[in-house]
Structure 1
Amino acid sequence: MNNNNKNTIRFHQYHGENIVLSEDNTVAYRNRSFANAVTFSERPLQPGEIFLVEIEQNESGWSGHMRLGLTQLDPLAIYRNGSIPQFALPDLAETGRSWIYGISKAHNYCIFPSTLPTNQFSFMTGKSSAFQKLNGEKTFIKTCRGSLPISLLKPLRSPSEDILPTDMGSRIGIMYVPTDQHHANMHYIINGEDQGPCIKGIPFTLAPLHVVVDVYGTTKKVRIVQLYVVPSLQSACRDAILQHITKNAVSSLPLPRMLKEYLLYQT
Structure 2
Amino acid sequence: MNFNPADISESMRKRKRGNKIVPEPDWGPNNPNVTKFLPYHGAYIQLSENNTVACRNKSFANSITFSERPLQPGEIFLVEIEQNESGWSGHMRLGLTQLDPLEMYRRQSIPQYALPDLVDMGKSWIYGISKAHNNILEYMLDTRVLGVDQGYMYVKYGNRPEFNNYNSHIETCRGSVPVSLLKPTRGCDDILPTDMGSRIGVMYIPVDDKEAEMHYIINGVDMGTCAKHIPYKNTPLHVVVDVYGTTKKVRIIQLYHVSTLQAACRDVILHRMNKRDIPALPLPKLLKDYLQYGT
Q: Shared fold (TM-score greater than 0.5)?
A: yes
Instruction: Tell whether the 8 Å contact from 2:185 to 2:275 is kept in structure 1 after alignment.
Output: no
Greater mean deviation of Cα atoms: 238-247 or 88-97: 238-247
State the one-letter code of the partner of 1:50. Answer: I
- Which residue does 2:209 correspond to in 1? 181
Matched, 1:114 2:145: yes
The residue matched to 1:6 in structure 2 has which SS? coil
Question: What is the alpha-carbon distance in structure 2 between the residues aligned to residue 224 and residue 135 of structure 1?
Answer: 22
Partner deviation per Cα, 1:90-122 (whole Å, 9 max, x = no partner): 111110000000011123399864141262333
* Compared CA separation, residues 112 and 239, structure 1 to 2 (3 A): farther
Residue in 2 aligned with 1:137? 166
**2:73, 2:173 within 8 Å by CA — same for their partners in 1?**
yes
Specify the alignment match of 1:155 in structure 2: 184
1:125 Cα deviation from its structure 2 partner: 2.4
Which range moved further: 78-87 or 203-212?
A: 78-87
Residue of structure 2 in register with 1:32 after alignment: 58
Moved more, 24-33 or 134-143: 134-143
Letter in 2 for 1:255: L
Judge conservation of contact 1:121–1:141 (CA < 8 Å) in 2. Answer: yes
Distance 1:225 1:74 in 2: 24
Q: Which residue of 2 aligns with 1:191?
A: 219
Deviation (angstroms), 1:33: 1.1
Give unmatched runs, 5+ long, in structure 1: none
2:128 corresponds to? 102
Contact 2:179–2:220 (CA under 8 A) maintained in structure 1: yes
* Residue in structure 2 matched with residue 123 of structure 1 by the alignment: 155
Alpha-carbon shift at residue 17 of structure 1 (Å): 1.0
Structure 1 residues 135 and 154 mapped into 2: Cα distance closer, same or farther (>3 Å)?
Answer: closer
CA distance in 2, matches of 1:140, 1:263: 24
Question: Secondary structure in 2 aligned to 1:7?
Answer: coil
Partner Cα distance (1:180, 1:214) in 2 = 29
Question: Is 2:292 the counterpart of 1:260?
Answer: no
8 Å contact kept, 1:4–1:230: no
Instruction: Give the corresponding residue for 1:170.
Output: 198
> Mind listing any 5+ residue stretches in structure 2 that lack a counterpart?
1-27, 136-140
Whether the 8 Å contact between 1:124 and 1:144 is mirrored in structure 2 is no
Q: Which residue of 2 aligns with 1:225?
A: 253
Measure, in 2, the Cα distance between the counterparts of 1:244 and 1:254. 16
The range that moved more, 236-245 or 35-44, is 236-245
Q: How far apart are 1:39 and its partner, in Å? A: 0.2
Distance 2:277 2:58 in 1: 27
Distance in 1 between the 2:29 and 2:195 partners?
A: 32
Q: Identity, % of aligned pairs?
A: 64
- Residue 239 in structure 1 maps to residue 267 in structure 2: yes
Deviation at 1:51, TM superposition (A): 0.3
How far did 1:4 drift?
8.0
Residue 54 (structure 1) aligned with residue 80 (structure 2):
yes
Per-residue CA deviations over 1:206-226 (Å, capped at 9, x if unaligned) read 100000000011111100000
Deviations 1:30-76 (A, max 9, x none): 11111111000000000110000011111111111100000001110
8 Å Cα contact 2:157-2:208 kept in structure 1: no
Task: Tell me how far apart the structure 2 counterparts of residues 228 and 71 of structure 1 sit (CA, whole Å).
Answer: 22
- Tell me how large the CA RMSD over aligned residues is: 2.2
Q: TM-score, normalised by structure 2?
A: 0.82
1:15/1:125 Cα in 2 relative to 1: closer, same or farther (>3 Å)?
same
Distance (whole Å) between structure 2 residues aligned to residue 111 and residue 135 of structure 1: 16
- State the distance in 2 between where 1:242 and 1:153 align: 13
Instruction: Say which one has the larger Rg.
Output: 2
Change (3 A) 1:225 1:266: closer
How many residues get paired? 262
Q: Quick check: 1:63 aligned with 2:92?
A: no
Asked whether the equivalents of residues 112 and 194 of structure 1 are also in contact (C-alpha less than 8 Å), the reply is no
